[in-house]
Chain A
């Protein structure tokens, strides 16, 4: 996909690379090569700013999913601004806004340059939050006209849910445009990681997005192992895989129940609400915490999985399986559910590709995109889970893809529990290699979790970029709402179920 002479440096998922091997390209080459790669199916996994030795640089991670490769590139910014890439490459739109907000480097010509999190965290040290703009105050896009009305929802909205602000431009019931403005959950994680790792780093990872603890902590551990020259034992790779799939199952099951509740079909809503807990409790058997906290640690996992525990987990899987299948299959057999699911909130394949949508949302739009398959790591290099794709990108497709994934993840967990490799579950992890880079991708239940660590000459984090799948996908939700009924918003929202704190960091 990407010509070798482009000046981009190839690297595999979770492998270390000396920073010096990533050439600093002139802007023209950086720009042209990026556009060419994206036009051939390349995907921007991360784009962020950093300042090694006081020099302002843009750092790009480009995923080549057909070739299981990542391509890294850098360019130097000479002034306080750079020409925006967004008009010709929409999938960088939020990355550029983030760079503008964090660093103050303005992408000239960006069509939608607004705050991302209402924070100036990187501009002038820890005191910068004081100077941040007022949350929620921005020039919201407006549709004008006598019959147009605006609906503003949030940050505090009905239900036990995280805060965010949604602005709908409506003509009657029809949504012409939805703008999603976040930042309420901003806790300053990326700023605090600079200079690390330290004793708190792993806990930031475990609380980045609480329902994706296994995904983010695994991604972090892989960074630490790659840069710390540690070979992660096979046994811990499998245990991490089991935890990741249990996390996926629990969240998908919970969301299938919630989707059912959103169309007022209460049987599946109640059954799945309980069944989700059964999967969380399996994770708690592994590590004592229902969200997988305390399990993944640099070098492996903190808790071993004994034969008796594996046996107990297998029994529990058996006991919930038929309950789960009968509860979920009611959805597809009930016309009143299908009438609401089908056709609601469509996200076209072309739009999903152009926006760089990831995870089940991308697969439901027909994109064959799954980090476990495209950029495999750990156990997924040896055991392949079929990629579940769906049809037209509507609520039904997103629900159905999740159900396929639940079944395939359960089969995976079973297989792994029966064939646990021997050996230790944790190895020693050394100090981090100086002046190095590692990109770690993990397929969380919402999609690709991307962590990029760059170390300084002392082996401390010079930059630590976290890209939660929600960062890519919130715009997908906004697009899916176009020309839909506003009353379908909760349903569409739940079909994506994106993370607020994962976006806000």
Chain B
């Protein structure tokens, strides 16, 4: 017993101060929100789009990156002869509308908005989520799970992962929704009492990710359920997920930036 107490003392208090304090620093090589510098794009060049493994880049009048498909692998940046694409360390990526996942130069970043008043009244201080992995590779699942550790302690915001969909206010879905998990997912959704929300975490859950055109998958949660919050990444950093959940609940206001430098 004494040993346990001594160890406990030595381990100290380890919970992040975020969002009241600064966000933890992202590593130098972290690949967050991409930036496109279209002025550098050579005429009729499509090297980035050709290099992209998931078809996330579209070249129209300007190059556009769909973060819902992006694996944040930076194959595009490597392929670009002029260095027109770079990945910033901005971890804030979650949005409410699918169209807001499109990154284009000159288009302002629209981070997600809060839930409407009624849902916020219901869920703002207590949000119970049932997580369903539907073909997820266990990376998204792991970094969602991390939010339960003492370092992130998601419980302090009233957010909790529950075992039964009957106890849940919504689903947090990972994976491209395999055909073999389609029925399981739909039954779980049906078992959640309304009103309910759906959160898609990771490129797979948003669009299918690397499995986007596979007959074995449905190409993401959106193809089978209405999605209220999109959190892109492969997998999204725990901070990206937490930031998304807190913005949804109005704990971080839009435009607010708890850390100074992304």
Give me the interface of A with B, judged by CB distance under 8 Å: 117-119, 121, 126-130, 132, 135, 155-156, 158-163, 183-188, 191-192, 199-200, 202-204, 207-211, 213, 254, 267, 270-271, 273-274, 276-277, 281, 284-291, 293-294, 303, 323, 326-327, 330, 333-334, 499-501, 504
Does B183 belong to the interface (CB within 8 Å)? yes
Report 27 cross-chain contacts, Cβ distance below 8 Å, ordered by A residue: A127-B215, A129-B216, A155-B184, A156-B130, A160-B141, A162-B141, A184-B180, A184-B181, A184-B184, A187-B176, A188-B215, A191-B216, A199-B75, A202-B53, A203-B54, A207-B210, A210-B136, A210-B138, A267-B7, A270-B150, A273-B151, A281-B27, A285-B28, A291-B139, A294-B31, A501-B135, A501-B137
| 8 Å CB interface, B133-149 against A | 133-146, 148-149
Would A161 and B133 count as touching, CB distance under 8 A? yes
Would B141 and A199 count as touching, CB distance under 8 A? no
Would A327 and B31 count as touching, CB distance under 8 A? no
Interchain nearest-CB distance for A417 vs B (Å): 16
Given A158-B163, A210-B137, 5 further pairs, Cβ under 8 A:
A208-B137, A267-B7, A277-B151, A294-B73, A501-B135
Would A334 and B4 count as touching, CB distance under 8 A? yes
Would A156 and B150 count as touching, CB distance under 8 A? no
Would A284 and B27 count as touching, CB distance under 8 A? yes
Among A158, A160, A186, A273, point to the contact of B216 (Cβ < 8 A): A186
Among A199, A210, A286, point to the contact of B142 (Cβ < 8 A): A210
**Alpha-carbon distance between A208 and B139 when the two chains are bound, in angstroms:** 10
Closest A-B pairs by Cβ, 7 of them: A210-B139, A288-B29, A158-B163, A210-B137, A273-B149, A188-B216, A135-B180
1/0 contact trace for B171-187 toward A, CB 8 Å?
00001101111011100
Would A288 and B31 count as touching, CB distance under 8 A? yes
Interchain nearest-CB distance for A252 vs B (Å): 14
Does B209 belong to the interface (CB within 8 Å)? yes
Would A499 and B7 count as touching, CB distance under 8 A? no
Among A119, A210, A270, A291, point to the contact of B149 (Cβ < 8 A): A270
Interchain nearest-CB distance for A420 vs B (Å): 17
**Which residue of the partner chain A has the closest CB to B15?**
A274
**Which residue of the partner chain A has the closest CB to B183?**
A135
Would B30 and A333 count as touching, CB distance under 8 A? no
Would B30 and A186 count as touching, CB distance under 8 A? no
Would A327 and B184 count as touching, CB distance under 8 A? no
Give the residues in chain B near A501, CB-CB below 8 Å.
135-138
A211 with B139: in contact, given A162-B133, A188-B214, A203-B71 (CB under 8 Å)? yes
**Alpha-carbon distance between A221 and B57 when the two chains are bound, in angstroms:** 26
**Alpha-carbon distance between A135 and B134 when the two chains are bound, in angstroms:** 13
**Alpha-carbon distance between A286 and B27 when the two chains are bound, in angstroms:** 9
Among A186, A191, A192, A330, point to the contact of B180 (Cβ < 8 A): A186
Would B150 and A273 count as touching, CB distance under 8 A? yes
**Alpha-carbon distance between A408 and B165 when the two chains are bound, in angstroms:** 42
Give the residues in chain A near B10, CB-CB below 8 Å.
323, 326
Would A303 and B29 count as touching, CB distance under 8 A? yes
**Which residue of the partner chain A has the closest CB to B142?**
A211
Would A327 and B7 count as touching, CB distance under 8 A? yes
Does B123 belong to the interface (CB within 8 Å)? no
Among B73, B141, B149, B175, point to the contact of A293 (Cβ < 8 A): B73
Give the residues in chain A near B148, CB-CB below 8 Å.
160, 273
Does B217 belong to the interface (CB within 8 Å)? yes
Does B188 belong to the interface (CB within 8 Å)? yes
Would A161 and B141 count as touching, CB distance under 8 A? yes
**Alpha-carbon distance between A20 and B195 when the two chains are bound, in angstroms:** 63
Would B181 and A330 count as touching, CB distance under 8 A? no
**Alpha-carbon distance between A281 and B185 when the two chains are bound, in angstroms:** 32
Would B138 and A209 count as touching, CB distance under 8 A? yes
Would A267 and B4 count as touching, CB distance under 8 A? yes
1/0 contact trace for B114-158 toward A, CB 8 Å?
000000000000000011111111111111111011110000000
Give the residues in chain B near A158, CB-CB below 8 Å.
163-164
**Alpha-carbon distance between A161 and B140 when the two chains are bound, in angstroms:** 10
Would A285 and B141 count as touching, CB distance under 8 A? no
Give the residues in chain B near A161, CB-CB below 8 Å.
133, 141
Give the residues in chain B near A162, CB-CB below 8 Å.
133, 136, 138, 141
Give the residues in chain A near B7, CB-CB below 8 Å.
267, 271, 326-327, 330
Among B8, B133, B143, B188, point to the contact of A290 (Cβ < 8 A): B143
**Which residue of the partner chain B has the closest CB to A208?**
B137
Among B73, B134, B150, B184, point to the contact of A274 (Cβ < 8 A): B150
Does B230 belong to the interface (CB within 8 Å)? no
**Alpha-carbon distance between A208 and B149 when the two chains are bound, in angstroms:** 25
**Alpha-carbon distance between A204 and B135 when the two chains are bound, in angstroms:** 13
| 8 Å CB interface, B1-41 against A | 3-4, 7-8, 10-11, 14, 27-31
Does B237 belong to the interface (CB within 8 Å)? yes
Give the residues in chain B near A163, CB-CB below 8 Å.
132-134, 181, 184
Would B139 and A213 count as touching, CB distance under 8 A? yes
Give the residues in chain A near B204, CB-CB below 8 Å.
207
Among B131, B151, B175, point to the contact of A160 (Cβ < 8 A): B131
Would A288 and B151 count as touching, CB distance under 8 A? no
**Alpha-carbon distance between A127 and B216 when the two chains are bound, in angstroms:** 9
Give the residues in chain B near A202, CB-CB below 8 Å.
53
